[in-house]
Every structure is written in structure tokens, then in C-alpha cells.
């Protein structure tokens, strides 16, 4: 009997960098994660004659490095530019054609935070250290009176949707003199630090990512949840999808820990309660014990970070209340990607790079 050829083709073939951004000065933030562009202007990329090639290449770099910082002031970046840029990064890197920018479920909340110009935009999520205190009062009220555990800050964006965000882009318009840093963590490297036998087990698991607070908040405020939210598949108000604990990044073809930890992960499916807790605590322990997998951004006025939620977790640092009178104000757009999947033919980042780190 002839040997059957094993099908090793990936569901999404990894994209190849074409070199169109070689003219940009950059430094890698750490060996494992992050790239910083000290001088590049996003507006120049948007105005380039080969804009599509440059943005596609940037999407590949973001997906390989996890997060990119644009350190030079992006003060000429209008709200529409931020939206267009984020949308194109998702679109040109193979996002499902019917998808677009995320719409926050609670956009209709009367306490919805306006941008610095006083306007709101359904595709823009506003981060405002002052106004945010007034929103989600029900969540604040339930906060335990115990020493804070900042491990709960780690998450990837819109995991409560059937199609979560692939790329998020945050422009920080006002920054405190110190504090308010954001951290990103490599989900690729987290995967690579787990033993092969345990990885194989984790690859069999999915997790429920329930965020019932949206229904509670909309019912309390007597307004309808926004729908659809960047994809025809993000149209209901159940906010309890199941996602793979290990997923494949569609741009690189590399495996990353995904729904195994984070703010939006509520339950590892089909295991007993203590096993659920054990698995999530184990993954969080690997994360908190390995700070070399972190890229940390100290925000400067009008700097930008853009990241791939399929392969990094991120966490804001809630310490700006310690800096009296300071304001941290940012606007974020998020592209909505595909339904997360684990491709059995995908590889780990270290395997792909032949890296020993
Ligand atoms: Fe986030």
C-alpha cells in the first residue's frame, strides 16, 4: 500500500515580509517581544504610494514581535487616521472580509466617555483615567477590600466576542508625568515555556470567556447593547464564547497561549472546578515568574502602541491615582479578526525561528 502523504499545509499560510519598511529606524524592546520605532510617523505610512505593502509588512512585524511602539509624537494622527490605519492592518493581513472595527457593547451607555474633543465614535474606545472612574460603577462597587492583585489586569482585547480583536492600536494623547505604563506579554513564549507533554494536553482544551457585566450594565441603564460589533458573528448579547486555550496566529502560523488566562476567561471547559483553577493559576504563575517576556511602555504624549491580541496579553498599570491631578487619556481602535482556531500543523515560535531563548 502506498504511503499516504501527510497534509502539512496550514489553514492560513504565514505571510512573508517584503522589505518595504526597511527604511525605518527601530530597536527591539527585548530579545523576545516588542519593537520600537523612535522616529517613524504613521501618517507617512498612510500617505505612502505603496501604503498597502507597507501596512501588510507592518502587520507581519507586529505579529512576530507581538507589539510595536511608535515613540515619536503622532500629533498629526486624526481619529479617522487611527481608524483607517487599524482597519487596514487587520484587513491587509487576512482578516475575514466581512469584519471591520470593533464596536464597544456599551457604546450607548449615558456614562460613555467622550474623546478629548468632546465627541464619541462607535469605533473608538476611550481610555480616560478620570472619566473611567464614573463608568462601570457596579464593577467598582464589588471590588474586594484586600491588597490588590494586578494579575487580574492581564487580558487580550474583546475575548468576550465570538470573533475577538486581532489588532488593537492605542494613541495616548495625554500622559501623567509618571505611572500609567502598559505591559505586553508574549503568549508565544509562554507556550514555549511549558513542557511538551503539558502543551499537548492544553491543546485539547477550550475555555468559556464570559463577560456578563455587559448585559447587567445595559439592563441597569435601560439601553440596548450595540450589535453587530465588528463582525456578523459578534451580534448577540450572550458574551460567553468558547475559545481555544492554545491558538494559532493566522499571520505567523505560530502557537500562543490564548484563552488560558486573563480577565475575560471565566472557565476552562470540561474539567472539574479545581482543575480549572489549577490550570489557570499554573499559566498565571508561569507568566508572573518570567518577566523577560514583557515589553513595557512608558507612555509619552502622542505615542502609539499597536499589538496583535492573538499572541500577546497586555495589562495597564492602575497607579495614576497616586499622581495628583494627572490625566491619562487615550483613544483605541480595535480590528476584529477571525474565530480563534488551533491549527494542528502550526509550530511554536522557537521551533519556527530555531531559537534557544
Ligand atoms: Fe485592553
In degrees, rounded to 5, the angle at the alpha carbon of residue 316 between the alpha carbons of residues 60 and 278 is 90
Strands (E) across the chain are located at 27-28, 35-37, 67-70, 125-128, 165-174, 182-186, 206-208, 242-244, 246-248, 255-257, 267-268, 294-297, 303-308, 312-316, 329-336
Environment of ion ligand 1 (residues, CB < 5 A): 157
For residue 54, how far is its CA from the centre of ligand 1 (angstroms)? 25
Give the pLDDT band (50/70/90) at residue 124. Answer: very high
DSSP-derived pairing of the beta strands 165-174 and 329-336: antiparallel
For residue 322, how far is its CA from the centre of ligand 1 (angstroms)? 21
Q: Quick check: is 4 in a domain? A: no
For residue 276, how far is its CA from the centre of ligand 1 (angstroms)? 23
Give the pLDDT band (50/70/90) at residue 38. Answer: very high
For residue 190, how far is its CA from the centre of ligand 1 (angstroms)? 19
DSSP 246: E
For residue 158, how far is its CA from the centre of ligand 1 (angstroms)? 8
pLDDT of residue 1: 47
For residue 7, how far is its CA from the centre of ligand 1 (angstroms)? 37
170-225 tens-digit pLDDT = 999 999 999 999 999 999 999 999 999 999 999 999 999 999 999 999 999 999 99
Q: Quick check: is 205 in a domain? A: yes
For residue 297, how far is its CA from the centre of ligand 1 (angstroms)? 14
- Rounded to whole angstroms, the Cα distance separating 150 from 101 reads 28
Q: Quick check: is 1 in a domain? A: no
pLDDT of residue 98: 98
Domain boundaries, position 124: 27-141+148-353
Q: Quick check: is 327 in a domain? A: yes
For residue 315, how far is its CA from the centre of ligand 1 (angstroms)? 7
For residue 67, how far is its CA from the centre of ligand 1 (angstroms)? 13
pLDDT of residue 317: 94
Q: Quick check: is 119 in a domain? A: yes
Does residue 166 contact residue 309 with C-beta atoms inside 8 Å?
yes
Does residue 295 contact residue 30 with C-beta atoms inside 8 Å?
yes
For residue 126, how far is its CA from the centre of ligand 1 (angstroms)? 11
Identify which has the larger pLDDT, 243 or 130.
243
Tell me how many domains the chain contains.
1
All 3 cell numbers of residue 107? 457604546
Q: 78 pLDDT exceeds 50?
A: yes
Residues of the chain with pLDDT > 90: what percent? 85
Q: Quick check: is 7 in a domain? A: no
For residues 133-157, give the mean pLDDT: 72
For residue 128, how far is its CA from the centre of ligand 1 (angstroms)? 13
pLDDT of residue 110: 84
First vs last C-alpha separation in the chain = 43
In the three-class reduction of DSSP (H, G, I as helix; E, B as strand; rest coil), residue 240 is classed as coil
For residue 350, how far is its CA from the centre of ligand 1 (angstroms)? 26
pLDDT of residue 113: 85
For residue 80, how far is its CA from the centre of ligand 1 (angstroms)? 20
- Rounded to whole angstroms, the Cα distance separating 273 from 291 reads 28
Give the pLDDT band (50/70/90) at residue 4. Answer: low
Q: Quick check: is 109 in a domain? A: yes
Q: What is the CATH number of the domain that holds 176?
A: 3.60.130.10
For residue 143, how far is its CA from the centre of ligand 1 (angstroms)? 19
Residue located via cell numbers 509550530: 347
DSSP 48: -
Residues of the chain with pLDDT > 70: what percent? 94
For residue 146, how far is its CA from the centre of ligand 1 (angstroms)? 24
Q: Quick check: is 280 in a domain? A: yes
Amino acid at each position: 500500500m502506498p504511503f499516504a502523504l501527510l497534509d502539512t499545509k496550514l489553514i492560513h499560510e504565514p505571510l512573508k515580509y517584503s522589505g518595504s519598511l526597511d527604511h525605518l529606524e527601530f530597536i527591539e524592546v527585548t530579545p523576545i517581544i516588542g519593537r520600537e520605532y523612535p522616529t517613524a510617523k504613521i501618517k507617512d505610512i498612510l500617505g505612502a504610494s505603496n501604503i498597502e505593502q507597507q501596512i501588510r509588512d507592518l502587520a507581519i512585524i507586529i505579529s512576530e514581535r507581538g507589539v510595536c511602539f511608535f515613540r515619536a509624537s503622532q500629533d498629526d494622527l486624526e481619529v479617522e487616521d487611527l481608524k483607517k490605519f487599524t482597519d487596514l492592518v487587520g484587513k491587509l493581513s487576512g482578516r475575514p472580509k466581512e469584519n471591520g472595527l470593533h464596536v464597544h457593547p456599551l457604546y450607548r451607555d449615558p456614562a460613555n466617555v467622550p474623546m478629548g474633543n468632546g465627541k464619541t465614535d462607535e469605533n473608538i474606545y476611550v481610555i480616560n483615567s478620570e472619566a473611567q472612574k464614573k463608568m462601570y460603577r457596579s464593577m467598582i462597587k464589588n471590588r474586594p477590600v484586600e491588597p490588590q492583585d494586578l494579575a487580574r489586569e492581564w487580558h487580550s482585547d474583546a475575548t468576550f466576542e465570538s470573533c475577538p480583536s486581532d489588532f488593537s492600536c492605542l494613541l495616548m494623547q495625554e500622559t501623567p508625568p509618571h505611572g500609567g505604563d502598559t505591559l505586553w506579554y508574549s503568549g508565544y513564549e509562554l507556550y514555549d515555556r511549558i513542557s511538551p507533554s503539558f502543551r499537548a494536553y492544553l491543546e485539547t482544551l477550550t475555555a468559556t470567556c464570559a463577560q456578563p457585566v455587559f448585559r447587567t450594565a445595559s439592563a441597569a441603564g435601560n439601553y440596548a447593547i450595540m450589535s453587530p460589533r465588528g463582525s456578523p458573528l459578534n451580534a448577540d448579547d450572550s458574551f460567553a464564547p468558547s475559545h481555544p486555550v492554545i491558538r494559532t496566529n493566522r499571520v505567523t502560523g505560530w502557537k500562543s497561549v490564548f484563552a488560558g488566562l486573563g480577565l475575560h476567561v471565566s472557565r476552562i471547559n470540561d474539567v472539574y472546578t479545581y482543575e480549572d483553577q489549577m490550570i489557570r493559576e499554573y499559566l498565571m504563575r508561569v507568566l508572573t515568574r518570567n518577566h523577560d517576556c514583557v515589553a513595557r511602555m512608558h507612555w509619552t504624549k502622542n505615542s502609539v502602541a499597536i499589538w496583535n491580541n492573538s499572541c500577546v496579553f497586555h495589562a495597564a498599570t492602575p497607579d495614576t491615582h497616586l499622581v495628583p491631578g494627572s490625566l491619562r487619556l487615550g483613544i483605541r481602535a480595535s480590528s476584529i479578526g477571525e474565530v480563534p482556531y488551533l491549527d494542528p500543523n502550526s509550530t511554536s515560535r522557537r521551533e519556527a525561528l530555531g531559537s534557544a531563548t
